Amino acid sequence: MPTMASNRAIPAPQVDPTNKPYFDAAREGRLLIGRCKDTGRYFWYPRGCSPFTLSNNVELVQAKGTGTIYTYTVMRTKEPYCVAYVELDEGVRVFTNIVDCDLDTVRIGQRVKVVFKPTQGDGPPATMFTPA
Amino acid sequence: MSINGKAYIVGAFEHPIRKADDKSVAQLHAEVAYGALQDAGLSKDDIDGYFCTGAAPGLGPLNMADYLGLTKLRHFDSTDIGGSSYVMHVGHAAEAIALGLCDIALITLAGRPRAEAMATGTAPRSWGVNVPDDPFEIPYGRTVANAYAMVAMRHMHEFGTTSEQLAWIKVAASHHAQHNPHAMLPKVVTVEDVVNSPMISDPLHRLDCCVISDGGGALIVARPEIAKSLKRPLVKVRGHGEATKNQNAGYTDLTYSAAVWSGPRAFEEAGVKPSDIQYASIYDSFTITVLVQLEDLGFCKKGEGGKFVADGNLISGVGKLPFNTDGGGLCNNHPANRGGMTKVIEAVRQLRGEAHPKVQVPNCTLALAHGTGGLLGTRHGSATVILERE
């Protein structure tokens, strides 16, 4: 019997002055990732400093929104859900959920694409992934 | 500076309670502190160093020092790296003693998550407010269980590790727990029992997870001259290492833990190698935790942990590396959701020759205790100590 992703209530992420541009873009359906302007390297999760140089010479850039499942697990709670790290095509591994599919068919190496899911209250959407 | 030989563990006490309906967390701290002092043959006012973590009620060490009546303190440390903190505190206490900052250090842990009906592993939890990674993980239902399960899933993918191999870790722990009258799960289980138990977070079953228990423990660490004036067997601190591992800016690799750094630091300071270790206390929040740490500490090669733990290799008297002879967190006790304290305590019992006779390692003179705190799949701390019976 398939395990369909549940419509569990998703807690709203805590928006702060530094991460606000990321979540504003999510409301517009765009997935941004951090980029260090000193080294040109992408990083995850978005933050106000470069994890490579510690300078604040950083920016947010739009990701393609596609990637590959690096690892995953299905939480077998009353409302089952799939937690995963997705390796974006830009190279960074993002902590996320795999949704809108039979969770028993999820596999490492599977191609996925971003989807935006509403969160509780007036929170910005969560960036999740579904089989491409 | 090396701490090798500069300090000794002179007192150790594990609270026998597993469900503390009628005791506060502070009272549990007091009871384990008293127990460790009795064990050492010391009294409260001998203590001039105190170590605890964020699991202790209050602001750092302040409220517990007040509650316990510790009035002679000249050194304290509440560094918190989760369940591995107490292994690290042994190292920090030895460093402080070596520097002359204190003579006799007390380390305490206590908690009552079971009495409070806490969903330790399966409910999303934050470590505090303004934590910068929370907005990128809490909405996705990050829990303790799934953060370890993803490590297991990747290990299976890369190295062919099986659920049956992981189950052997629980089986070994249960063989030890049957001799521990305080163990929460004293029944011997089989590989089939483990793999047929309900799935919690693929590929981890219920019996791949540690228990949720109340209680705590305490340790007393002292200067060599003091240790030698007491009546207990001498357990010397030979080496210590600590490390953290994080998501590496989004380039995380879940196949290894921070033990790849804390382990070699401890071994180098002690001047010994993994094959010299006669008994190992290995953090066992989940079976996968044990497997990854055994590889990273050098007891076997990376990727060969599954083969190493199979067929009873961790069972005392049967296999090559007796581990967690009290039953560990998997079967005995995981007080306050933090297993580092009991790891050190069982290593001390082994070195004193005071483990249960059925699991005592004959003539055990060199032991290791290792902890992982936080989440193996996101960010965690590691601490390793190497102890010797003198």
CATH number, domain with residue A75: 2.40.50.840
Q: What is residue B201's three-state secondary structure?
A: strand
In contact, B18 and B215? CB cutoff 8 Å? yes
Tokens in use for A132? 């491409």
**Residue A97: enclosing H or E segment and its boundaries?**
strand A93-98
* Inter-chain residue contact B153 with A73, CB threshold 8 Å: yes
Tokens in use for A12? 């709203």
Average pLDDT, chain B: 97
When pLDDT is averaged across residues B379-387 and rounded to a whole number, the result is 98
**pLDDT of B211 higher than 80:** yes
Q: Which of A8, A71, A91 sits opposite B153 (nearest CB)?
A: A71
pLDDT value for B56: 95
**Residue A51 domain-assigned (yes or no):** yes
Residue B256, chain A, CB below 8 Å: the answer is no
Q: Which of A11, A23, A72 sits opposite B138 (nearest CB)?
A: A11
**Residue A90 domain-assigned (yes or no):** yes
Give the pLDDT band of residue B246 (cuts 50, 70, 90): very high
B7 φ, ψ to 5°? -155, 155
pLDDT per residue over A87-119, tens digit each? 999 999 999 999 999 999 999 999 999 999 999
- When divided into structural domains, chain A yields a total of 1
CB under 8 Å to B131, separation ≥6 — which residues? none
Residue B149, chain A, CB below 8 Å: the answer is yes
pLDDT value for A6: 75
Q: Is the peptide bond before B113 cis (omega within 30 degrees of 0)?
A: no
**Residue A100 domain-assigned (yes or no):** yes
Tokens in use for A7? 């419509």
Q: Which residue has the higher pLDDT, B162 or A3?
A: B162
> Pairing mode, if any, of strands B204-205 and B199-201?
antiparallel
* Inter-chain residue contact A108 with B157, CB threshold 8 Å: yes
Query: Can you list the domains of chain B with their CATH numbers?
Result: 8-117+210-389 (3.40.47.10)
**Chain B residues whose beta carbon lies within 8 Å of the beta carbon of residue A93:** 247, 250-252
**Residue A35 domain-assigned (yes or no):** yes
SS (H, E, C) B47-84: CCEEECCCCCCCCCCHHHHHHHCCCCCCEEECCCECEC
**Chain A residues whose beta carbon lies within 8 Å of the beta carbon of residue B136:** 13, 44-46, 94-95
In contact, B294 and B300? CB cutoff 8 Å? yes
Tokens in use for A94? 């993002």
Helix residue ranges per DSSP H, B197-310: 224-229, 259-270, 287-296, 305-309
A56 burial class (0-12, 13-18, 19+ CB within 10 angstroms)?
exposed
Greatest distance between any 2 Cα atoms in chain A? 51
Closest chain B residue by Cα to residue A93: B250
* pTM for the structure as a whole: 0.97
* Inter-chain residue contact A75 with B146, CB threshold 8 Å: yes
**Residue A12 domain-assigned (yes or no):** no
When pLDDT is averaged across residues B352-356 and rounded to a whole number, the result is 98
**Residue A82 domain-assigned (yes or no):** yes
Other beta carbons within 10 Å of B191: 19
A123: closest CA of chain B, how far (Å):
10
> CA B85 → CA B54, B93, B196, B302, distances in Å?
10, 12, 33, 25
**Residue A115 domain-assigned (yes or no):** yes
Buried b (16+ CB within 10 A) or exposed e, A98-110: bbebebeebebeb
Q: Which residues in chain A come in under a pLDDT of 70?
A: none
**pLDDT of B41 higher than 90:** yes
Q: Give me the residues paired with residue B222 across strands.
A: B8, B104
Give the pLDDT band of residue B257 (cuts 50, 70, 90): very high
**pLDDT of B292 higher than 90:** yes
pLDDT per residue over B103-137, tens digit each? 999 999 999 999 999 888 888 888 888 999 999 99
Q: Which of B202, B246, B375, B379 to mutate to test the interface with A (most CBs of A within 10 A)?
A: B202
pLDDT value for B120: 85
* Inter-chain residue contact B140 with A95, CB threshold 8 Å: yes
- ipTM surpasses 0.95: yes
- Residue with tokens 């052997």, as numbered in its chain: B168
Give the up-direction half-sphere exposure of residue B278: CA atoms within 13 A in the CB hemisphere: 17
User: A78 is in which domain, residue-wise?
Assistant: 20-131
Q: Give me the residues paired with residue A86 across strands.
A: A69, A94
pLDDT value for B118: 87
pLDDT per residue over B227-236, tens digit each? 999 999 999 9
Tokens in use for B386? 């190497």
In contact, B228 and B234? CB cutoff 8 Å? yes
**Residue A125 domain-assigned (yes or no):** yes
A35 φ, ψ to 5°? -140, 130
Helices B259-270 & B287-296 angle (0-180, nearest 10): 50
In contact, B263 and B384? CB cutoff 8 Å? yes
Closest chain A residue by Cα to residue B203: A73
